[in-house]
Chains A and B, each alone.
Chain A
Amino acid sequence: MAGVAVSTVINGDAVEYLCQPDEPLLDVLRDRLGLTGAKEGCGTGDCGACSIILDDRLVCSCLVLGAEAEGRRIETVEGMAHGEKLHTLQQKFLEHAALQCGICTPGFLIAAKDLLAKNPDPTEEEIRFGLAGNLCRCTGYDKIVRAVQDAAQVMKGA
């Protein structure tokens, strides 16, 4: 089996790696690059815990091959905060206690970031359908939706 050499950009940094042709990007991020913020909840695109943004599109990194990242731009949860400052969504998730166990949180943050980038003033229904690809088993989603609503208000004003 021939390894595939890939040059890509992750959270603004140029990154190069060698991966197997059938290796999911999620495994590359976690096992080769040490970016364990994206989680594997299912490996089949059904839970959203591995969400990343690939060239401005929200995707499950378990459904992308590492080889496909050549020449693309990847954003993960590790790139959301800037220096000492948390992203507004991160701050609001903390304030609203939008996490209990926290395993789904990176995926939700990335999905919410994508949602607000495309729809800065979503209704509750738009938030709920926009985040339907991310499973949370602890919160019943109530506090997550509220955190996103609050973040949207703050980000609009910024």
Chain B
Amino acid sequence: MRYIRPLSIEDAVGQLARAVGPAAILAGGSDLLVRMKGGFVEPELIVDIKGIAGLSEIRETAEGFSIGAAVPCAVLGENAALKKAWPGVVEAAKLIGSKQVQGRCTITGNLCNASPAADSVPALVAAGAKAVVVGPSGTRTVAVEIVPTGPGKTSLAKGEIIEAILLGKRAAHSGDAYLRFIPRTEMDIAVVSAGVNLTLDEQGVVKAARVALGAAAPTVLLVEEAAEALIGRKLDEAALERLARICSGACRPIDDKRGTIEFRRKVAGVLARRAATTAYARAGGK
């Protein structure tokens, strides 16, 4: 077993591509170390990417925001501009684990861990976020929802690293929100969750919408029908009812230690509705 701390993304990609046994990328480590402790993974090579220039930064660009793969979630909450533009994404990222875990965990790691219950992913999907993937054959930019392909599985090829997550520049009258259900007030994994991202026109009519559900299927669900139910309308009671019904119907959840199928279906609708109400208010809708 080796631990390395490359200083360039090219070096990291090269080391990963050449690795003989199982290799793991280490940023925050809040998933990796737990899996190692439980004996679920035994990497031959651990590649710590925190030494790579730029990966620990949030950059505001002409196109929006670029969040480096090694930026801890706590830092997202300390970035005023990001928080103002994408409050739903930030609140989702800030829900992962405890204060202690916040100081380490990253949204890129949350995405690559590929848990259907990952908190930041529904918010990122709703936000239309993209991932910059660097690999042996170059760089590609993909929608975040195509990264996880099933519980614990991703579409990343051997040697590929997500370098950053991109969030677009905010249009006027936009707002997003994320809500999850947990039995306690902190420290739990989402039983079910919902992220909603809205853009309104001057009159408060929804122009664009994205609705995503977490822990409702093997991967995070982008519910296009739910978005369609909101577009072209103000957020009246009937629209919210419809949204809730569509979201409950779109769920393909399982019974497990965290919740039942019935519970997840029902609460997915409740959360979508509540998140939409918050997003709408954040977008300036009344």
Which residues of A line the B interface, CB within 8 A? Answer: 1-2, 4, 20-22, 24, 43-46, 48, 51, 54, 57-60, 62-65, 67-68, 70, 111, 114-115, 129-130, 132-134
Q: Of B3, B33, B38, B186, which is within 8 A of A21 by CB?
A: B3
Contacts of B98 in A (CB 8 A): 45, 48, 60, 132-134
Alpha-carbon gap, A105 to B91, bound state (A): 29
Contacts of B50 in A (CB 8 A): 68
Say yes or no: B3 contacts A58, CB within 8 Å: no
Say yes or no: A133 contacts B186, CB within 8 Å: yes
Contacts of B26 in A (CB 8 A): 65, 68
Say yes or no: A4 contacts B100, CB within 8 Å: no
Say yes or no: B46 contacts A59, CB within 8 Å: no
Task: Give B34's nearest chain A residue, CB to CB.
Answer: A44
Task: Give B38's nearest chain A residue, CB to CB.
Answer: A44
Say yes or no: B34 contacts A45, CB within 8 Å: yes
Additional 10 contacts, C-beta under 8 A, given A24-B37, A45-B98, A132-B99 = A4-B3, A24-B33, A44-B37, A45-B100, A46-B187, A60-B104, A68-B50, A115-B99, A132-B185, A132-B187
Q: Of A22, A70, A134, which is within 8 A of B46 by CB?
A: A22
Say yes or no: B185 contacts A65, CB within 8 Å: no
State whether A133 and B2 are in contact (beta carbons under 8 Å apart), knowing that A57-B72, A65-B29 are contacts in the complex: no
Report the minimal beta-carbon distance from A109 to chain B, rounded to whole angstroms.
14
Say yes or no: B2 contacts A45, CB within 8 Å: no
State whether A60 and B101 are in contact (beta carbons under 8 Å apart), knowing that A21-B2, A22-B46 are contacts in the complex: yes
B54 within 8 A of A: no
Which residues of B line the A interface, CB within 8 A? Answer: 1-3, 5, 26, 28-30, 33-34, 36-38, 43, 46, 48, 50, 72, 74, 97-101, 103-104, 185-187
Contacts of B46 in A (CB 8 A): 21-22, 65
Alpha-carbon gap, A90 to B62, bound state (A): 49
Report the minimal beta-carbon distance from A123 to chain B, rounded to whole angstroms.
15
Main secondary structure of the interface of A (DSSP, over half): mixed
State whether A68 and B100 are in contact (beta carbons under 8 Å apart), knowing that A46-B187, A129-B186 are contacts in the complex: no
Report the minimal beta-carbon distance from A145 to chain B, rounded to whole angstroms.
14
Report the minimal beta-carbon distance from B217 to chain A, rounded to whole angstroms.
26
Task: Name the residue among B28, B43, B98 with the largest chain A CB count within 10 angstroms.
Answer: B98
6 cross-chain pairs, A with B, having the tightest CB-CB distances, nearest first: A133-B98, A21-B3, A132-B186, A57-B103, A60-B100, A67-B3
State whether A45 and B30 are in contact (beta carbons under 8 Å apart), knowing that A51-B100, A111-B99 are contacts in the complex: yes
Report the minimal beta-carbon distance from A68 to chain B, rounded to whole angstroms.
6
Say yes or no: B99 contacts A45, CB within 8 Å: no
Q: 12 pairs across A/B with beta carbons < 8 Å?
A: A1-B1, A24-B37, A45-B98, A57-B72, A57-B103, A57-B104, A59-B100, A62-B33, A63-B101, A68-B29, A133-B98, A133-B99
Contacts of A114 in B (CB 8 A): 99
State whether A68 and B48 are in contact (beta carbons under 8 Å apart), knowing that A24-B33, A45-B34 are contacts in the complex: yes
